[in-house]
């Protein structure tokens, strides 16, 4: 059985003992799964559900409220955002940010290639806001840049948790995935110690043990259904 998952800290408790294991960005994992390089993968729900892939078990990456690893950094006041840079590694979060800007804030910014404040060439426009995900967002969140936590925004908008990723593929992998999480849930301290991020240990421990939810229960399913309905209605999925 060939496994694939994201390389971010938040995936570590799901992966303990899984092998062979490929680590790649959400976007690349989708491509590798399509190419049949993987039998089961921790995939972004936006892409996997849109393609009707088979979900395996009830484990994934979800949150309710502030998560600190899926952030929209603002170069201008939110109400003045007219252009947006999307993290190329993302699939679900790029749909989420556009859905929230449209539904919660009445904004439909143009999507640009350059990150906020970083025009890539003469005459090329820099984005007013930039989506950043994963460990890079965790680190950058320690600064003072204005930002929106998209999980927190989703909770305020819908009252529901948000599901970012789940396992998809061969259902025969379900027992192995469950055992991996049972082992991983006992190793939070080890993941924090080995994280290699310039962040306080207590903040990382809180992130893995509280901010991230690994069980996709009834309320998470409701949040996922709401997200998929919203994305389809807005033409984002």
Q: Which residues of the chain have pLDDT under 50?
A: 114, 117-122
* CA–CA dist 54, 41 (Å, integer): 11
Q: What is the pLDDT of residues 26-84, one digit of tens each?
A: 999 999 999 999 999 999 999 999 999 999 999 999 999 999 999 999 999 999 999 99
How large is the greatest C-alpha to C-alpha distance in the chain, in angstroms? 54
Predicted local distance difference test score (pLDDT) of residue 117 = 46
Which of 154, 132, 155, 128 has the alpha carbon at shortest distance from 143?
A: 132
Which of 233, 228, 169, 216 has the alpha carbon at shortest distance from 45?
A: 228
Predicted local distance difference test score (pLDDT) of residue 78 = 98
What domains can be seen in the chain, in order of their start residue?
3-63+161-226 (3.40.190.10), 70-158 (3.40.190.10)
The model's pTM is 0.93
Q: What is the distance between the terminal CA atoms of the chain, rounded to a whole angstrom?
A: 29
DSSP character string of 167-190: EEE-GGGHHHHHHHHHHHTT-HHH
Pairing of strands 3-5, 40-44: parallel
């Amino acid at each position: 059985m060939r496994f694939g998952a994201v390389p971010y800290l938040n995936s570590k408790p799901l992966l303990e003992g899984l092998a062979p294991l490929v680590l790649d960005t959400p976007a690349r994992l989708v491509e590798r799964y399509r190419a049949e390089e993987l039998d089961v993968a921790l995939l972004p729900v936006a892409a996997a559900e849109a393609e009707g892939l088979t979900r395996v078990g009830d484990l994934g990456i979800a949150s309710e409220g502030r998560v600190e690893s899926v952030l929209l950094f603002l170069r201008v006041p939110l109400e003045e955002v007219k252009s947006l840079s999307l993290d190329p590694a993302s699939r679900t979060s790029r749909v989420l940010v556009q859905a929230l800007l449209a539904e919660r804030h009445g904004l439909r910014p143009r999507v640009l290639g350059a990150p906020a404040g970083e025009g890539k060439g003469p005459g090329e426009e820099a984005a007013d806001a930039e989506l950043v995900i994963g460990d890079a967002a965790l680190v950058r969140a320690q600064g003072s840049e204005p930002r929106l936590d998209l999980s927190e925004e989703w909770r305020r908008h819908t009252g529901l948790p948000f599901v970012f990723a789940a396992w998809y593929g061969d259902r025969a992998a379900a027992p192995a995935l469950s055992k991996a999480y049972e082992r991983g849930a006992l190793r939070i301290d080890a993941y924090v110690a080995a994280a290699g991020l310039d962040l306080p240990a207590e903040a990382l421990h809180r992130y893995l043990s509280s901010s991230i939810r690994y069980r996709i229960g009834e309320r998470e399913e409701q949040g996922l259904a709401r997200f998929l309905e919203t994305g389809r209605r807005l033409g984002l999925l």
